[in-house]
Amino acid sequence: MKPVVTRALFDQVMVPNYAPSATIPVRGKGSRVWDQDENEFVDFAGGIAVSCLGHCHPALVDTLKQQGEKLWHLSNVMTNEPALRLAKKLVDNTFADKVFFCNSGAEANEAAFKLARRYSFEKFGQKKSKIIAFEQGFHGRTFFTVTVGGQAAYSDGFGPKPQDIQHVPYNDLSALEALIDDDVCAVVMEPLQGEGGIVSPALEFVKRVRELCDSHNALLVFDEVQTGVGRTGELYAYMGLGVTPDILTTAKALGGGFPIAAMITTDAIAACFKVGTHGSTYGGNPLACAVAETTFDIVNTPEVLSGVLEREQWFRDGLEAINSKYKVFSEIRGKGLLIGAVLNEDYKGRARDFLVASADQQLMVLVAGANVVRFAPSLIISKEDVLEGLARFERAIASIVS
């Protein structure tokens, strides 16, 4: 007999590290979601930049059904066709020569940081182990990745942290120049900070980071867990910056909602992960890779990627129009369909109030810290859904302002 599923059941059976709303979604289609009571929501959250083709995209559903009747899982004692096809497409369409598959952004970043240290250890010796990352960065929730992430609130309270990790402010060249030296094995950065507030880098900053890494024989690691797979209007955000990393991580949108992630890098660096050095039980799972391949094929087209920038303008125009009436935002920032509406001084610290008010109007949005309302919808969301969602967002704002 199935248990009756209510929000109260969460408190009975789940570890209390989340605080979900009372709403329990049960089905979705495109950028609309329905709850247990058939209330319809517009989805501007995308499962935190995951559902890049919306909910239940027919091509992904078809791929899932087809692969589900063939092969679900193998150990890495054997390889499989979907994994190799997806890896070939990642290599053919990026700077990389080699791919490592895993399940989540945290796993991909864990692999990237371990590989950076292993490469430096083998090439330059054990003294070259320092990692520089940026304040307000976010790289996952394993102990290594959460320590590299520049938010102490997420890493404090778990005992001694991994060592040789230092942080500087994002976009602060002088701070980075003062800290970097020949003991640095890697500089780790998001090419657009997500959880840290939807903060874009200055182009001269990114280019100088690359130059500093080169001059100190340090690797440049780009965390594209949130920005990758079309989110910024390029296949990967580094392509719009004109700066190529040595290692890149990708997850979230890669599977269109199916858990999968990858770390990609060059032949020379990948060679340091010899047999048995690192692994992942589910990494390269044929079911995940099949769905991800279909997702990749759809996103990596001129019409979808150019459509992202068109949709960005719909959001910007709509948010600016709303703000001209209610005066709640100091700026709209971000790129593509990773957009942040920054609250002004009058509403500082109240981003969650806007999230809750939006949910009351049957709109799903996100926050990026206490001061930014974040939008990360489907890359193919219709104009009708954008306009309807913005109308609901305006009603949410009106309820707060009044």
The binding site for N(2)-acetyl-L-ornithine consists of: 141, 280
The strand order across the sheet containing 25-29 reads 25-29, 32-35, 40-43, 363-364
Contact 99, 91 (CB under 8 A): yes
Count CB-CB contacts under 10 A for residue 151: 17
Question: Choosing from 246, 252, 296, 375, which is the catalytic residue?
Answer: 252
Annotated catalytic residue: which of 41, 138, 296, 315? 138
**From CA 158, how far away is CA 150, in angstroms rounded?**
16
Whose structure tokens read 């989110």? Answer: 231
Q: Which two tokens stand for residue 26?
A: 């049960």
In 3D space, the residue among 62, 97, 56 whose CA is nearest the CA of residue 293 turns out to be 62
Contact assessment for residue 219 and residue 269, using Cβ atoms and an 8 Å cutoff: yes
Catalytic residue flag (residue 138): yes
Torsions phi, psi for 107 (to 5 deg): -65, -40
Q: b vs e for 46-71, b when ≥16 Cβ sit within 10 Å of the residue's Cβ?
A: bbebbbbbbbebeebeebbeebeeee
Binding residues: 105-106, 138, 141, 223-226, 280-281
Compute, in degrees rounded to 10, the torsion defined by CA atoms 12, 14, 16, 17.
-170
Check 43, 223, 246, 385 and give the catalytic one.
223
The sign of the dihedral angle between the CA atoms of 131, 132, 133, 135 is positive
SS3 category, 320: helix
Cα atoms in the Cβ-side hemisphere of radius 13 Å centred on 94: 34
62 given a catalytic annotation: no
SS3 category, 40? strand
Which pair of structure tokens corresponds to residue 59?
Answer: 């091509």
Q: Binding site for pyridoxal 5'-phosphate: which residues?
A: 105-106, 138, 223-226, 281
Instruction: Give catalytic residue positions.
Output: 138, 223, 252
